[in-house]
Amino acid sequence: MSQVVAIRGPKAPLHRGGAIDLREMSRTELSAFLTRKLGMPRFRGDQIFSWLHKHRARDLQAMTNIKASDREKLAQATSLGHLTVDQVHRAKDGTRKFRLLTAEGFALESVLIPNDDRGYTQCISSQVGCALTCAFCATQTLGFSRNLATWEIVDQVYQAQDLLAAEAEKTGQKWPERVQNLVFMGMGEPLHNYNQVKRAVEVLTDDMGADFAGRRITISSAGLVPAIARFGREGLGNEVGLAISLNATTDKVRDVVMPINTRWNIATLLKTVAEVPLHRRRWVTFEYVLLAGVNDSDDDARRLHQLVAKMRCQINVIPFNPHPQAPFKRPSKTRVKRFTDLCRKLGLRAFVRTPRGDDIDAACGQLALKGGPKPGSLPGSLPVVS
């Protein structure tokens, strides 16, 4: 097996540009900034925050109840950036995948997934590329360019909502469908960009802005143990959901599939997760990407039960989304069903996450790779579990 780096450093720092972006601040921070730096009354912070995050104003001139002199102060002291929508691909099942560009031209992705009933779940990115080197993930071949700023995270949501509103207007639909759920499962390890992700959650859940319910937001981690511990200490488990990308039941397999395991093994990871205080109605979600012949055996199902049975959790069984950057195959439908049924028989809450958007490069990172950096080398041979 070739050696891989568990956690890589960024190629560039967080992009600050010049003046601070208005959407980089929570409502409290914005009000304090306007009062301290620009001499505006505190109520102005609530007004401007609402324009930015409830009405999704794209420029200062749209803020019609803000007097012209205050808008001029804002124009001189702050900025209001937007990601560029480079491509939007739509799958047969209604999934939309965006490729968005930062000011420097870095590519990132966001995906809109239709819910079974109504509305959409949006998968959002937290980094350009990823610091981790999970062998099944297309994003890892991009390397790690930089963390996303708070405004770049929330702008992904607003760009998606604007798209849905434009589609509704075009078709004459009176009430556009909405983004109802947010999952931090796009490009990047969210907890590796902890401060920006936490502030983005604060912004998105503010009732004077986008007003998302915390129970409809889930943050996923590949196993960054110190950040998971911080997530627990700071009480985020009482606000949003926690998902852990597990994907193996032995350290031998996980070391290769997810090299972060060489830093914090399965036992350490699960002990830390078990200590995270959760809201009484919340369950930890363990994501388990099924890789044919690698982690999908009956013995894996039994070991998975032994590992997590004492935790208040559910298992999301995810058939691998094949892509050219990874040497894996999706298990057969029969194998997926057998694995899931055995988990349920053993007493686990297990659900199959239906693969979406196979026809539009739905695997995380694939669209960003097109025309982007040349993919790096893949990890070496994987142990096959019989």
Catalytic positions are 109, 364
Closest CA to 139 of 334, 373, 308: 373
- 72 and 52 Cβ atoms separated by less than 8 Å: no
Paired strand residues for 242: 219
* Separation between Cα atoms, residue 352 and residue 355, nearest integer Å: 9
- 212 and 205 Cβ atoms separated by less than 8 Å: yes
DSSP single-letter state for residue 15 = P
- 348 and 305 Cβ atoms separated by less than 8 Å: yes
* Cα 332 → chain centroid: 27
Residue type, 3: Q
* Separation between Cα atoms, residue 128 and residue 42, nearest integer Å: 35
* Cα 27 → chain centroid: 22
Angle between helices 27-38 and 68-77 (to 10 degrees): 100
Length of the chain: 386
Closest CA to 188 of 138, 122, 257, 238: 138
Separation in Å, CA 289 to CA 82, 88, 254, 264, 318? 33, 26, 12, 19, 5
Query: Residue 172 corresponds to which tokens in the numbers above?
Result: 């004459």
Query: Residue 111 corresponds to which tokens in the numbers above?
Result: 């995906």
- 218 and 224 Cβ atoms separated by less than 8 Å: no
Residue type, 205: T
* Separation between Cα atoms, residue 121 and residue 198, nearest integer Å: 19
